[in-house]
């Protein structure tokens, strides 16, 4: 799968830490759902490799309210100087890092 690139705003969601997430725009949800058919860990959780600014990180998308939320790790927040309400550009691809 090629990288999906989108602009979004960091939001808060009460749940497991880190609590801050980037909401996936609706126009990418179908593509992610299709890729998840072969990549999902189960329960709708989808592994991704994402980049915000110059920081690449691995995480898993969480399905919520008809879309997915991308957890923005605290290390990424600090490295990129972003937080709640900030607009960010995300590049990500569904899948695990090579060798995993």
Write out the DSSP string of 16-32: STT-EEEEPPGGGHHHH
Question: Can you give the pTM of this predicted structure?
Answer: 0.86
How far apart CA 18 and CA 77 sit, in angstroms, is: 10
pLDDT in tens, 43-96: 778 999 999 999 999 999 988 889 999 999 999 999 999 999 999 999 999 987
Superfamily of domain 4-94: AF2212/PG0164-like (2.40.30.100)
How do residues 17-41 score in pLDDT, each as one tens digit? Answer: 658 999 999 999 999 888 888 877 6
């Amino acid at each position: 799968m090629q990288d999906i690139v989108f602009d979004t705003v960091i939001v808060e969601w009460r749940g497991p830490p880190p609590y801050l997430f980037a909401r996936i725009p609706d126009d990418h949800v179908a593509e992610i759902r299709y890729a998840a058919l072969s990549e999902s860990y189960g329960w709708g959780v989808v592994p991704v490799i994402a980049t915000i600014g110059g920081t690449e990180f691995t995480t898993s998308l969480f399905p919520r309210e008809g879309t997915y939320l991308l957890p923005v790790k605290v290390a990424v927040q600090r490295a990129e100087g972003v937080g709640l309400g900030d607009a960010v550009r995300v590049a990500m691809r569904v899948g695990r890092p090579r060798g995993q």
